[in-house]
Chain A
Amino acid sequence: AQSVTQPDIHITVSEGASLELRCNYSYGATPYLFWYVQSPGQGLQLLLKYFSGDTLVQGIKGFEAEFKRSQSSFNLRKPSVHWSDAAEYFCAVGARNNDMRFGAGTRLTVKP
């Protein structure tokens, strides 16, 4: 069965520090991979997505993610976190002819 796991429910980092949010998936087919961000009371905004090709994907707001097929992972990274990055982050996985599945989310707190 297809599933998405975000192992970290809550992460706290200091402003200016680097960030890595983990995402692991289980899918039978070649997946489409997404990272979304949700600010309080808002809908989801797409940060980046991976379909094929280069396994390192650049997104908006300085985020990037790397697809590692051997580890079934699609971790999100940012070299220097800003206070405005505090939000909830969702990894999502889809595949041809399947609906999209979301991870449980990781809440990011940024310390000044």
Chain B
Amino acid sequence: AQTVTQSQPEMSVQEAETVTLSCTYDTSESDYYLFWYKQPPSRQMILVIRQEAYKQQNATENRFSVNFQKAAKSFSLKISDSQLGDAAMYFCAYRRANTGNQFYFGTGTSLTVIP
């Protein structure tokens, strides 16, 4: 089975600063999808950003961007201009591309935003 590793259980950032959350994964497949999900205290799971492995260009969504390093099997999330509302648990996830609907999640990084 694929494994997804988030080595930073907790991170903090000053408001308006930039923070990077790390994620690595282990797979023998060449085609897959990677995701970052945000879970605020409300527990709702919210998709932040998605990256297709066959695309070399890094995905961006407003203040959120990723650094996708396929050879290194690394998928970090950069949050620019951090806001208080960014405080949440962030999960990295891997999805197989061509078989079924299997998802693998990391253990999460709890992000605190300091005013």
Is B truly associated with A? no
A residues in contact (CB < 8 Å) with B: none
- The residues of B with any CB-CB pair to A shorter than 8 Å are none
